Amino acid sequence: MHIGAHRTGTTTLQDWLLQNEDALRSAGIACWGPDRARAGLFSGLIKRPAAITGADDLLARQSTAKIRMEIDRLQDLGFRTLLISEENILGTMLNNIDMATPYPDARARLDRVAAAFGGAVTTVALGVRRYDLWWASVLTVGRMRGIELPDATGLERLSRHPRGWCQIVEVMGEVFPGARRIVWPFEALVHDPVTPVVAMTGLTHWPEGLYRPARARNASIGLAVRDAILGARGMIESPAFGRWMPFSPDQQRLMAARYEQDKVRLRSQSAQRIEFIENVVGSLGGHPGTAEEEGNHYDRPQEGQPLRRLG
């Protein structure tokens, strides 16, 4: 189960899985992406915990029954692996902005999904990214949707926030105690969906006919386009060049240093069934593109959560 995080190449990986669905099925691997999860299969399971109602619990029970029947059906058909990729399992970008915290309710969200699978999850995976660039990308999505963003005090809080990837990986271990935990850095593998898939599935002999995508999917729009949209809303603040970066150089250095510390910590925890994957396994089916990050049109939350908006 690949649970995110947003803005770490999730759509590139999901697109690769979808394009290679037939080839992967021939190797005994079934795939569920957002096209399945958001079409009703996970109804009632992926929602902000504070907003869950009795109707949601009923939907969750129905979804649990559907999921388990689908798993049984796949086993009867001879599939050995089901690979699920849905970043909204972990939370949503807009909730991160609203709470000024990375995935603040991840434990409750993951508990709800884990219960639906009844111990069937053997591997749980997460992509991570340097904090200043990750938050800048998340906040860009928020700006494009008219969300009120943090002021200078809020940005300072984000730059020093104690919650980060290591804490989320710990939660993964608490919710899925018997599962392998696989983590990879966006910077190393954004153009290579194959390596994470190999790590998650253990597949060593690739089938014929793998699709090789032409470019990264869901790449962030350029500043010129973004500024044109924001300008039309009376929100323009920056010239159309370079990367939009709300954090100061000192804040960026602090966030980058913490990210490096987290990577060192994750690399050292193999005894706790944490595998930190950084090396590309090969070019077969790999991604030759040059885009740096994915964009905002695909990672839409399922939930109708209240958020502060501009205008």
Residue 232 confidence (pLDDT): 44
Amino acid letter, 203: L
For residue 179, say if its preceding peptide bond is cis, omega within 30 degrees of 0.
Answer: no
User: Could you tell me if 207 and 5 are in contact, meaning their C-beta atoms sit under 8 angstroms apart?
Assistant: no
User: Which token pair is 259?
Assistant: 């990210």
Query: Chain centroid to CA 26: how far?
Result: 26
The contacts of residue 233 (CB under 8 Å, 6+ apart) are: 146, 310, 311
Stretches in the chain below the pLDDT threshold 50: 214-216, 221-222, 224-226, 228-241, 283-311
- Looking at residue 286, its pLDDT comes to 39
Q: Quick one: pLDDT at residue 242? A: 61
Tokens representing 88 are: 């909204």
Which residues have CB under 8 Å from 34's CB, separation 6+? 14, 85, 86, 87, 88, 298
Q: What local confidence, expressed as pLDDT, does residue 208 receive?
A: 74
Nearest by Cα to 217 from 17, 23, 30: 17
Looking at residue 288, what is its pLDDT? 35
pLDDT at 79: 97
The Cα 31–Cα 46 span in angstroms is 18
- Write down the domain spans for the chain: 10-130+163-218+259-276
Residues whose CB is less than 8 angstroms from the CB of residue 235 and which lie 6 or more positions away in sequence, other chains included: 143, 310, 311
> Residue 131: what pLDDT?
98
Give the per-residue pLDDT at 102.
Answer: 97
**How many CB atoms sit inside 10 A of residue 148's CB?**
15
Closest among 59, 10, 52 to 34, alpha carbons compared: 10
The pTM score is 0.84
Q: Which of 142, 112, 146, 294 is nearest to 221 (CA)?
A: 294
